[in-house]
C-alpha cells in the first residue's frame, strides 16, 4: 500500500503515520524527520537546509525530491510506504507520480487530516520533540512523557522545535495554505483523497484512517 498523508503542521500526521505504518507493516517516511536527522548529523544536506527549516520555508524541490526518491528506493519500501510531509506542493506531487510510474506503481490513497486552525496552534504549541529522533513526539497536555523532558521511547532529550514557536508557525500555516493545500485538489481529480476529521483522540483518528483505506 502506497499512502500519502496530508494536513497542516500539527494536524497529527507524524503521530498517525507511525501508528499506521506499524499496523500496515510499511515504512513511515517523513521528509521533515529526514531533514532534521541530516541537520543533527551535520551532513552537507543538513547544512544546506538548516536555515530554511528554522524559518519555516520549503526546501527546494530538487533537493527534497532527490532525498525522498533515495529513501523510497530502499528495500524496505519496495512493497509500500506511508509518506508524511511529502509531497508538499504540485511540483513535488508530479515528480512523485513520475517516480512511481517509472517503477510501474502508483499511489493507493491520500489521507487528508482536517483539524481546525485553533486546535493546530494548540497542538504545535504543546508539542515536544525528541532530539535523537524527531519522529518521537509528545504533547505537554495530550501526551506527556512519563518523565518530564525525557523521551519515553529512547531516552533522548525533549525540546520545543524552533519552528514550533509562534511566529514561525504562522508562516508555516501560510505556506501550507498556499503551496500544499492545492495538492488535495490534484489528488482529488485522481479519486485518491479521503478526508478525515482529525479532531478526536489519537486511537479514534487511527480507526478512521484505517477505515478510509482501500
Annotated binding site for AMP: 31, 36, 57-59, 85-88, 92, 161, 172
CA 177 from centroid of its chain's CA atoms = 15
Stretch that binds ligand ADP, among 73-81, 85-93, 96-104, 188-196 (CB under 6 A): 85-93
Catalytic residue of the set 71, 123, 127, 128: 127
Lay out the site mask for ligand ADP across 86-105 (x = CB under 6 A, - = otherwise).
x-x---x-------------
CA 126 from centroid of its chain's CA atoms = 17
Task: Give phi and psi for 203, each to the nearest 5.
Answer: -65, -30
Is residue 13 annotated as a catalytic residue, yes or no?
Answer: yes
38 binds ligand ADP (CB under 6 A): no
DSSP H/E element including 159? strand 158-159
6 binds ligand ADP (CB under 6 A): no
- Separation between Cα atoms, residue 202 and residue 191, nearest integer Å: 26
59 binds ligand ADP (CB under 6 A): yes
Is residue 122 annotated as a catalytic residue, yes or no?
Answer: no
At closest approach, how far in Å is the CB of 180 from ligand ADP? 9
Q: Which residue is nearest to ligand ADP (CB)?
A: 32
At closest approach, how far in Å is the CB of 69 from ligand ADP? 12
The candidate with the shortest Cα–Cα distance to 129, out of 9, 7, 3, 8, is 9
At closest approach, how far in Å is the CB of 203 from ligand ADP? 9
- Separation between Cα atoms, residue 88 and residue 161, nearest integer Å: 20
CB-count exposure of residue 61 (10 Å: 0-12, 13-18, 19+) = middle
Is residue 54 annotated as a catalytic residue, yes or no?
Answer: no
2 binds ligand ADP (CB under 6 A): no
- Separation between Cα atoms, residue 36 and residue 156, nearest integer Å: 15
Cell 519555516 belongs to 56
* Closer residue to ligand ADP, CB minimum distance, 26 or 93: 93
Interface pick for ligand ADP out of 10, 19, 72, 81 (rule CB under 6 A)? 10
The grid coordinates of residue 11 equal: 494536524
- Separation between Cα atoms, residue 110 and residue 9, nearest integer Å: 16
Q: How do strand 137-139 and strand 127-130 relate by DSSP bridges?
A: antiparallel
Question: What is the set of active-site residues?
Answer: 13, 88, 127, 161, 172
Binding site for ligand ADP (CB under 6 A): 7, 9-15, 31-32, 35, 52-53, 56-59, 64, 85-86, 88, 92, 123, 126-127, 137-139, 142-143, 163, 172, 200-202, 205
Amino acid at each position: 500500500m502506497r499512502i500519502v498523508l496530508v494536513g497542516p503542521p500539527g494536524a497529527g500526521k507524524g503521530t498517525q503515520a507511525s501508528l499506521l505504518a506499524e499496523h500496515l507493516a510499511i515504512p513511515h517516511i517523513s521528509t521533515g524527520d529526514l531533514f532534521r536527522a541530516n541537520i543533527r548529523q551535520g551532513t552537507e544536506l543538513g547544512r544546506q537546509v538548516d536555515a530554511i527549516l528554522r524559518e519555516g520555508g520549503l526546501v527546494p524541490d530538487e533537493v527534497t525530491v532527490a532525498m525522498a526518491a533515495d529513501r523510497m528506493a530502499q528495500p524496505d519500501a519496495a512493497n509500500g510506504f506511508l509518506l508524511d510531509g511529502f509531497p508538499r506542493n504540485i511540483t513535488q506531487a508530479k515528480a512523485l507520480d513520475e517516480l512511481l510510474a517509472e517503477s510501474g506503481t502508483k499511489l493507493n490513497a491520500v489521507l487528508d487530516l482536517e483539524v481546525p486552525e485553533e486546535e493546530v496552534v494548540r497542538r504545535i504549541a504543546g508539542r515536544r520533540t525528541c532530539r535523537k529522533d524527531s519522529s518521537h513526539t509528545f504533547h505537554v497536555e495530550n501526551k506527556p512523557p512519563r518523565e518530564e523532558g525525557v523521551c519515553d521511547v529512547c531516552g533522548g532529550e525533549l525540546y520545543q522545535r524552533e519552528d514550533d514557536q509562534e511566529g514561525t508557525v504562522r508562516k508555516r500555516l501560510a505556506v501550507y495554505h498556499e503551496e500544499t493545500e492545492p495538492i488535495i485538489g490534484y489528488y482529488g481529480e485522481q479519486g485518491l483523497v479521503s478526508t478525515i476529521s482529525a479532531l478526536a483522540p489519537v486511537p479514534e483518528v487511527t480507526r478512521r484512517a484505517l477505515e478510509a483505506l482501500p
